[in-house]
């Protein structure tokens, strides 16, 4: 006859075993109460049939094969009833959340808000750029109760900091998985990545996931991941996957999280890590949120250390937003639950949800204007337009319609008008807010005909000599540039160009005529004439100077 002795252990280890021949099945404590009722009935029947089959020891039972057969049949009936009675919960795909679709949580250590904000550069800038909760309180001390509050809505309070290993309470992962949502929990420099031997440097003190008994399954343990504290490459890689987890948790080591270091060390760590997070595929293509939080403040309970640094950032967070409304660790849990429509767990049910930190902050209205030069633009002369904008969210983009069928983009542009008339110029500024704002500015610009061209010229030397080169240079203003210039030297020769050279073959006076033609439509011309006296030898004063020079040279 087959017999089985079964004894009940601790609550977290309760199991009910049945033996049927060589087969053995084990069921968790979820069926315990239902089975115990049926078990008691069978026990009584066995006692009536065989008074000698008394328990072998307190808390233990010696079970006959007949008893076991009855239990096995009872178990089958109970399983069938359970299958029929328990509804099948639909497993949703990763749902779109109210405030975010993906959330990253980074837990820092042991600093009040007044140790961080306006004390270290990066987190101060991050909070000023995005959000800051100025009245976010811890739920206990030391670390572990605060982490448990974030994960299960209760701090299971104990002063030893190692209070709660193998809790059987429902936790956040239970809620996430029931809703078809995904999660990954990283710890820097942990061993046993992806296994139930996962061991962060501080165990469950800073990593609440391993404090709960239902997390110790191979399926769930595969979500425990180690990441190197040198750049957190595994963590960053998870944010650049096509389908990142809905919840991603990071526990830094005790240097990076400021537990065993000064606040500036943690700030330097975040200054390198957070830009990689915000530039990752998750944060540039999805509705993602980053929450950086300290677990507790040093000197907890004093008026100067009531609150910890807590900041939301990322594309779904508001910009330049602060709130002094009271929140706590339970608020983060409740915010995650409300985001995906999950049931609350415990104390989180009464915690305020951090809804005010999400959604675009309303920027001031966008306005724009522009200037142009010159004040009296003329045909075929470049006009420079310069736009400026205020309000909205920078940076801005600008587009132009010049009223003559042409367009341009840019804050400063140039344009040439080919005809004389008035044009309505429209400049449109667009800001970077979501949704974007547009502002329009229009002005009328009148293009005038330029003054008629006028021209003149110079020549060198001032007293040209026969068979020596004479250089002529034209100077033209007015009209429409560029200009073409032609020359008539009065000796039957001609040339073109702004600056030309000519040689006269005889000593006499020649009337040199220069003609400038502009580029307007129709073209305009201007002429200039001068009499040029060509001599055979240099002038007398020059000859005297030469003679004197020769006289003294001979002496």
Query: Which residues does residue 184 pair with via DSSP β-bridges, in sequence order?
Result: 248
Question: Residue 544 contacts by C-beta under 8 Å, 6 or more apart in sequence?
Answer: none
Which of 125, 89, 77 is CA-nearest to residue 270? 125
Identify whether residues 428 and 472 lie together within a single domain.
no
Q: Is 63 inside any structural domain?
A: no
Annotate 260-311 with three-state secondary structure. CCCHHHHHHHHHHHHHHHHCCHHHHHCCEEEEEEECCCCCCCCHHHCCEEEE
Identify whether residues 231 and 195 lie together within a single domain.
yes
Q: What is the CA radius of gyration of the chain?
A: 45
pLDDT given for residue 12 in this prediction: 34
Identify whether residues 186 and 306 lie together within a single domain.
yes
Q: Which helix (H) or strand (E) holds 149?
A: helix 143-152
Whether the pLDDT of residue 513 is over 70: the answer is yes
Q: Which two tokens stand for residue 260?
A: 């065993």
Q: Which helix (H) or strand (E) holds 40?
A: helix 32-49
Residue-wise pLDDT tens digits, 313-338: 999 999 999 999 999 999 999 999 99
Q: How many alpha carbons lie under 13 Å from residue 17 in its C-beta half-sphere?
A: 18
CA distance 297 to 280: 31
| pLDDT band at residue 510 using 50, 70 and 90 as cut-offs | very high
pLDDT given for residue 526 in this prediction: 97
Question: Residue 463 contacts by C-beta under 8 Å, 6 or more apart in sequence?
Answer: 533, 535, 538, 539
Q: Is 24 inside any structural domain?
A: no
CATH number for the domain spanning 338: value is 3.40.720.10
Mean pLDDT calculated for residue range 162-180 = 86
Whether the pLDDT of residue 67 is over 50: the answer is no
Q: Which two tokens stand for residue 394?
A: 């920078």
pLDDT given for residue 436 in this prediction: 84
Identify whether residues 442 and 459 lie together within a single domain.
no
Mean pLDDT calculated for residue range 365-376 = 92
Identify whether residues 310 and 417 lie together within a single domain.
no
CA distance 49 to 2: 18
pLDDT given for residue 490 in this prediction: 97
- 514 or 69: whose pLDDT is higher? 514
- Which of 446, 472, 504 is the C-terminal boundary of a domain? 446
pLDDT given for residue 429 in this prediction: 98
- Which of 377, 411, 446 is the C-terminal boundary of a domain? 446
pLDDT given for residue 157 in this prediction: 65
Order the strands of the 397-401 sheet from edge to edge: 407-409, 397-401, 422-430, 438-446
> Residues in the chain, how many?
555
pLDDT given for residue 31 in this prediction: 36
Which of 376, 373, 380 is CA-nearest to residue 479? 380
Whether the pLDDT of residue 238 is over 80: the answer is yes
Question: Residue 533 contacts by C-beta under 8 Å, 6 or more apart in sequence?
Answer: 463, 464, 508, 509
Residue-wise pLDDT tens digits, 469-497: 999 999 999 888 899 999 999 999 999 99
pLDDT given for residue 140 in this prediction: 80
- 80 or 221: whose pLDDT is higher? 221
CA distance 39 to 34: 9
pLDDT given for residue 539 in this prediction: 55
Whether the pLDDT of residue 434 is over 80: the answer is no
Identify whether residues 233 and 341 lie together within a single domain.
yes
Query: Do 401 and 361 contact (CB within 8 A), yes or no?
Result: no
Q: Is 110 inside any structural domain?
A: yes
pLDDT given for residue 361 in this prediction: 65
H-state helical runs in 155-202: 172-178
Q: Which two tokens stand for residue 342?
A: 């999950």
CA distance 459 to 131: 74
Identify whether residues 442 and 464 lie together within a single domain.
no
CB-based contacts of 212-219 (< 8 A; 24+ apart in sequence): 212/151, 212/152, 212/166, 212/167, 212/168, 212/169, 212/171, 212/173, 213/12, 213/166, 213/167, 213/168, 214/168, 214/171, 214/174, 215/171, 215/173, 216/166
Mean pLDDT calculated for residue range 303-313 = 81
Tally of structural domains, the chain: 3
Which of 395, 391, 397, 447 is CA-nearest to residue 427? 397
Q: Is 43 inside any structural domain?
A: no
Q: Which two tokens stand for residue 549?
A: 């020079």
Structural domain containing residue 512: 454-533
Residue-wise pLDDT tens digits, 74-117: 544 444 434 333 333 333 344 689 999 999 999 999 999 999 99
Residue 488, phi then psi, degrees to nearest 5: -125, 115
| pLDDT band at residue 203 using 50, 70 and 90 as cut-offs | confident
CA distance 546 to 113: 94
pLDDT given for residue 150 in this prediction: 92
Query: Do 396 and 363 contact (CB within 8 A), yes or no?
Result: no
The vertex-253 CA angle with 310 and 224, nearest 5°, equals: 90
CA distance 216 to 227: 20
- Give the sign of the dihedral formed by CA 268, CA 273, CA 275, CA 278: negative
Residue with tokens 């677990």: 295
Identify whether residues 353 and 296 lie together within a single domain.
yes
pTM of the model: 0.53
Q: Is 215 inside any structural domain?
A: yes
Mean pLDDT calculated for residue range 374-402 = 92
CATH number for the domain spanning 517: value is 2.60.40.10
Distances (CA, A) of 120 to 107, 114, 142, 210: 17, 10, 24, 32
Mean pLDDT calculated for residue range 55-78 = 43
Q: Is 260 inside any structural domain?
A: yes
Lowest mean pLDDT of 305-309, 388-392, 443-447, 551-555, name the range: 551-555
Q: Is 60 inside any structural domain?
A: no
Burial class, 157, CB count within 10 angstroms (exposed 0-12 / middle 13-18 / buried 19+): middle
Mean pLDDT calculated for residue range 345-365 = 89
Residue with tokens 């724009």: 368
pLDDT given for residue 37 in this prediction: 40
Residue-wise pLDDT tens digits, 269-280: 999 999 999 999
Residue-wise pLDDT tens digits, 156-167: 865 554 555 678
Q: Is 9 inside any structural domain?
A: no
Whether the pLDDT of residue 396 is over 90: the answer is yes
Lowest mean pLDDT of 55-69, 330-344, 363-377, 398-412, name the range: 55-69
Q: How many alpha carbons lie under 13 Å from residue 123 in its C-beta half-sphere?
A: 31
Which segment, 9-13, 69-73, 338-342, 377-381, is predicted with the most confidence on average? Answer: 338-342
Distances (CA, A) of 1 to 52, 66, 71, 432, 452: 15, 9, 15, 81, 127
Identify whether residues 349 and 374 lie together within a single domain.
no
Mean pLDDT score across all residues of the chain: 82
pLDDT given for residue 145 in this prediction: 85
pLDDT given for residue 8 in this prediction: 34
The single-letter DSSP state of residue 364 is P
Whether the pLDDT of residue 374 is over 50: the answer is yes
CA distance 157 to 140: 8
Mean pLDDT calculated for residue range 249-254 = 97
Lowest mean pLDDT of 60-69, 400-409, 498-507, name the range: 60-69
pLDDT given for residue 394 in this prediction: 85
Identify whether residues 252 and 342 lie together within a single domain.
yes
Identify whether residues 237 and 308 lie together within a single domain.
yes
Identify whether residues 431 and 317 lie together within a single domain.
no
pLDDT given for residue 95 in this prediction: 64
The verdict on whether omega for the bond into residue 461 sits within 30 degrees of 0, i.e. cis, is yes
């Amino acid at each position: 006859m087959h017999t089985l002795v079964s004894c009940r252990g601790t609550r977290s280890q309760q199991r009910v075993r049945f033996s049927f021949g060589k087969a053995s099945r084990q069921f968790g404590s979820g069926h315990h109460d239902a089975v115990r009722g049926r078990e008691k009935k069978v026990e009584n029947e066995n006692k009536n049939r065989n008074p000698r089959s008394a328990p072998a020891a307190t808390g233990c039972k010696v079970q006959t094969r007949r008893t076991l057969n009855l239990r096995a049949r009872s178990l089958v009936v109970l399983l069938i009833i359970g299958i029929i009675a328990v509804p099948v919960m639909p497993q949703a795909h990763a749902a779109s959340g109210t405030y975010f679709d993906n959330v990253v949580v980074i837990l820092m250590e042991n600093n009040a808000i007044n140790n961080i904000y306006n004390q270290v550069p990066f987190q101060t800038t991050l909070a000023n750029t995005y959000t800051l909760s100025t009245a976010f309180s811890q739920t206990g001390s030391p670390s572990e109760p605060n982490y448990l509050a974030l994960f299960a809505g209760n701090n299971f309070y104990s002063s030893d900091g190692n209070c709660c290993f193998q809790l059987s309470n429902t936790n956040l992962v239970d809620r996430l998985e029931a809703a078809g949502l995904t999660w990954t929990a990283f710890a820097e420099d942990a061993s046993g990545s992806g296994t139930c031997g996962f061991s962060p440097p501080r165990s469950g003190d800073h990593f609440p996931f391993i404090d709960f008994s239902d997390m110790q399954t191979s399926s769930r343990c595969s979500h425990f991941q180690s990441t190197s504290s040198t750049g957190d490459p595994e963590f960053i890689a998870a944010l650049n996957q096509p389908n990142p987890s809905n919840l991603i948790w990071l526990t830094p080591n005790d240097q990076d999280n400021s537990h065993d270091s000064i606040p500036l060390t943690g700030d330097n760590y975040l200054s390198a890590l957070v830009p990689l997070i915000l530039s990752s595929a998750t944060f540039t293509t999805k509705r993602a949120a980053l929450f950086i939080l300290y677990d507790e403040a040093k000197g907890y309970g004093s008026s100067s250390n009531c609150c910890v640094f807590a900041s939301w950032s990322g594309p779904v967070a508001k910009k330049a937003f602060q709130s002094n409304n009271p929140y706590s660790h339970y608020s983060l849990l409740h915010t995650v639950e409300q985001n995906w429509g999950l049931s609350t767990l415990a104390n989180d049910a009464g915690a305020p949800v951090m809804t005010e930190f999400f959604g675009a902050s309303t920027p001031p209205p966008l306005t724009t204007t522009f200037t142009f030069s010159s004040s009296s633009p003329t045909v075929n002369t470049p006009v420079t337009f310069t736009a400026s904008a205020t309000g909205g969210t920078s940076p801005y983009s600008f587009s132009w319609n010049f009223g003559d069928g042409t367009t341009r983009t840019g804050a400063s542009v140039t344009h040439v008008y080919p005809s004389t008339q008035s044009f309505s110029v429209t400049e449109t500024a667009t800001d970077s807010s979501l949704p974007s704002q547009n502002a329009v500015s229009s002005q009328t610009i009148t293009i005038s005909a330029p003054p008629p061209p006028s021209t003149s010229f110079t020549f060198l030397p001032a007293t040209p000599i026969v068979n020596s080169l004479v250089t002529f240079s034209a100077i033209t203003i007015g009209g429409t540039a560029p200009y073409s210039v032609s020359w008539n030297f009065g000796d039957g020769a001609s040339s073109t160009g702004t600056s030309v050279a000519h040689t006269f073959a005889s000593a006499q006076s020649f009337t040199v005529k220069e003609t400038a033609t502009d580029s307007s439509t129709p073209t305009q011309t201007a002429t200039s004439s001068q009499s040029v006296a060509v001599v055979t030898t240099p002038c007398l004063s020059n000859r005297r100077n030469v003679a004197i020079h020769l006289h003294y040279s001979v002496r």
